[in-house]
């Protein structure tokens, strides 16, 4: 209880420095996507086609105190057949020296500095079995709880082109649960940007660790790990590669809990020529999972995907997309029927 009270006091005292609130500055953005996906699964599954309809609306709020500190937050409403609101964004304080502090829902710094790897556009995808736990994102070990903070340095921290951040979170003090949960976490990350001739080079990554418990008992393998990546931009050409390694956990259903030791590699390339953007991305993840706490898995889960897309800028804020994805999966060392391929053709309108 003491740590929650300390965090609440820090939040109230910080906001108390602001002038009396009248109305903050609000900005809006959003998009509407509509298209058709044609999915061809492995031989044992019937092919399908689906109309993909997705809209999102984002509102950002900000105001600056008399002392020069900017207070900001945002939320997003997403409609993918069922309307949902993403309101778990941090309350951000941006100081006059350029540094920032995220309060509550702050995330993990190892994930903050994961380098963006180019990937295909479109809403195509191939589903997989729920027990295949091969990771597909390089920051899969960067977990956190809602009760957390993250500090971000200003630009050019200690060296030109360097930014760093550090995060910490704790649990919400609820009763011990039979569902495995993160009790505390930390993360450290950094991004370095430099130029070499006509090329802008970005190197980033981080490390994370956390403690995970089930009914009050610590798991033998907590969530954590590291990620590292690099991207290079030369004119209209962007290439990137990222790698992540670590441990995570999944609550499969009411009775099954899996601890996962995995790794993933992502690589991609994109090229802009006139109004057309060409993109290609590959993902290769593998993991050993175990439903018995303390016993390491022996057989690999794997997820290998290749995606490509062509995006055409029809008009300002309007684009047409043609995308393709092929996926191959193995669960516990055996080939599954959950792989296959999918096409997508659609349009996006953004404001």
pLDDT for the residue 105:
87
pLDDT digits (tens, 9 = 90+) for 236-253: 999 999 999 998 877 655
- CA 153 to chain centroid: 21
Domain boundaries, the chain: 2-350
> What's phi and psi for 146, nearest 5 deg?
-65, -30
Higher pLDDT, 88 or 92: 92
pLDDT for the residue 10:
47
pLDDT for the residue 7:
47
Tell me if residue 185 falls in helix, strand or coil. strand
Distance CA 329, CA 293 (A): 25
The closest of 23, 50, 13, 47 to 34, measured between CA atoms, is 50
* Buried/exposed 174-211: b ≥16 CB within 10 Å, e otherwise: eeeeeebbbbbbbbbbbbbbeeeeeeeebbbbbbbbbb
- CA 50 to chain centroid: 25
Residue 215 pLDDT greater than 80, yes or no? no
How many C-beta atoms lie closer than 10 Å to residue 338's C-beta? 21
Higher pLDDT, 132 or 304: 304
Residue 294 pLDDT greater than 90, yes or no? no
pLDDT digits (tens, 9 = 90+) for 189-214: 999 999 999 999 999 999 998 887 76
Distance CA 273, CA 263 (A): 34
Please name every residue paired with 151 in a beta bridge, in sequence order, or none if there are none. Answer: 101, 166
Distance CA 243, CA 247 (A): 14
Is 2-350 CATH 2.40.160.10? yes
Arithmetic mean of pLDDT over the chain: 83
Q: In sequence order, what DSSP letters do the residues of 266-310 get, joined into one string?
A: EEEEEEEETTEEEEEEEEEEEEEEESSTT----SEEEEEEEEEEE
pLDDT for the residue 18:
46
* Cα→Cα distances 194→118, 143, 188, 207, 232, Å: 19, 29, 21, 22, 10
Residue 91 pLDDT greater than 50, yes or no? yes
pLDDT for the residue 218:
59
What are 66-75's contacts with CB under 8 Å, separation 24+?
66/18, 66/19, 67/17, 67/96, 68/95, 68/96, 69/17, 69/18, 69/93, 69/94, 69/95, 69/96, 70/94, 71/15, 71/18
pLDDT digits (tens, 9 = 90+) for 7-62: 445 444 545 444 445 688 999 999 999 999 888 876 556 677 888 888 889 999 99
Residue 260 pLDDT greater than 90, yes or no? no
pLDDT for the residue 169:
92
Residue 83 pLDDT greater than 60, yes or no? no
Distance CA 206, CA 139 (A): 9
pLDDT digits (tens, 9 = 90+) for 123-179: 887 766 666 778 888 998 888 888 899 999 999 999 999 999 999 998 765 555 566
| Confidence band for 88, pLDDT divided at 50, 70 and 90 | low
Higher pLDDT, 43 or 324: 324
Q: Determine contact, residues 245/224, Cβ cutoff 8 Å.
A: no
pTM: 0.81
Higher pLDDT, 312 or 23: 312
pLDDT for the residue 141:
86
Give me the helices (H) in the chain, please: 2-15, 109-112
Locate tokens 């991609």: which residue? Answer: 268
Residue 115 pLDDT greater than 90, yes or no? yes
pLDDT for the residue 5:
44
Q: Determine contact, residues 261/297, Cβ cutoff 8 Å.
A: yes
- CA 283 to chain centroid: 15
| Confidence band for 75, pLDDT divided at 50, 70 and 90 | confident
């Amino acid at each position: 209880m003491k740590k929650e009270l300390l965090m609440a006091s820090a939040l109230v005292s910080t906001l108390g420095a602001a002038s009396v609130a009248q109305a903050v500055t609000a900005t809006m953005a959003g998009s509407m996507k509509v298209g058709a996906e044609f999915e061809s699964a492995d031989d044992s599954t019937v092919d399908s086609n689906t109309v993909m309809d997705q809209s999102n609306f984002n509102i950002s709020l900000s105001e600056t105190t008399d002392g020069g500190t900017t207070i900001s937050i945002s939320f997003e409403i997403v409609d993918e057949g069922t309307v949902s609101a993403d309101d778990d964004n941090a309350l951000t304080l941006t100081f006059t020296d350029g540094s920032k502090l995220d309060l509550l829902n702050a995330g993990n710094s190892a994930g903050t500095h994961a380098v963006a790897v180019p990937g295909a556009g479109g809403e195509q995808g191939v589903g997989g079995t729920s027990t295949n736990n091969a990771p597909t994102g390089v920051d899969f070990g960067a977990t956190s709880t809602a009760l957390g903070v993250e500090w971000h340095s200003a630009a050019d921290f200690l060296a030109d082109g360097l930014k760093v951040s550090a995060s910490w979170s704790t649990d919400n003090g609820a009763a011990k649960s039979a569902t495995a949960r993160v009790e505390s976490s930390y993360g450290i990350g950094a991004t370095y940007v430099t130029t070499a001739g006509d090329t802008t080079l970005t190197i980033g990554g981080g490390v994370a660790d956390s403690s995970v418990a089930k009914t009050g008992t610590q798991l033998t393998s907590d969530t954590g790990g590291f990620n590292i990546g690099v991207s290079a931009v030369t004119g209209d050409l962007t290439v990137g590669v990222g790698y992540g390694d670590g441990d995570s956990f999944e609550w499969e259903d009411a009775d099954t809990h899996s601890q996962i030791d995995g790794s993933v590699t992502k690589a991609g390339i994109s090229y802009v020529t006139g109004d057309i953007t060409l993109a290609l991305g590959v993902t290769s993840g593998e993991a050993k999972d175990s439903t018995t706490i303390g016993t390491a898995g022996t057989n690999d889960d794997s997820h290998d995907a290749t995606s490509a897309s062509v995006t055409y800028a029809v008009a300002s804020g309007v684009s047409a997309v043609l995308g393709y994805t092929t996926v191959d999966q193995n669960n516990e060392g055996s080939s599954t029927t959950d792989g296959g391929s999918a096409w997508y053709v659609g349009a996006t309108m953004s404001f």
